[in-house]
Amino acid sequence: MDTDMEPLTEHRGVSGPVVYGYLRLVRVSPARQMALNEALAEYCRQHELTLSGVFTERDTGSGPSAAFTGLIDVMELPDTYGVVLPAASHLGPKDIAAPRQARIAEAGARLLLVRGPGSRRPTAHGPTGPGPAPVRRFGPAPTPALNTET
């Protein structure tokens, strides 16, 4: 009988899909930056994702961003699953955000938002940071059930 059995998966350091955070911080306090970093980390913990790094852009210009270029570079790595943002607005103004979103998609990465489009901050939002992150569903929306009378 073999006594060198492999430990159960639950007892191994199994990591989830690899993601990278992206923050666009223009005129943001250090406390706000820390809260946003913590929100990304908490979202990843809740969704069993491995946050491998956070790229931070501080430039207000519309030219090439070193932070975004770095993000796209890591999207090319074989184990990268996606990009996590506090909100879609972190991709920049609309004229910049749309091409950036397309570049992320072209790289084959998922775009994950802590706060989805149209969601509001929780009412308990305060100096301690945002409340729990909303659940982000993957895949198509569920198909509605057919009415049995039709």
Calculate Rg over the CA atoms of the chain. 19
Taking CA atoms, 30 is separated from 25, 33, 77, 87, in Å, by 10, 5, 30, 18
- CA-based nearest residue to 70, from 22, 136, 121: 22
pLDDT at 10: 52
Query: Are the beta carbons of 113 and 87 closer than 8 angstroms?
Result: yes
DSSP state of 91: G
Characterise 8 by phi-psi region: left (phi > 0), alpha (psi -120 to 50), beta (else): beta
What local confidence, expressed as pLDDT, does residue 4 receive?
Answer: 58
pLDDT tens by residue, 63-107: 678 999 999 999 999 889 999 999 999 999 889 999 999 999 999
Residues in the chain where the model's pLDDT stays below 70: 1-14, 61-63, 116-150
Task: Kindly report the pTM of this predicted structure.
Answer: 0.68
- pLDDT of res. 75: 94
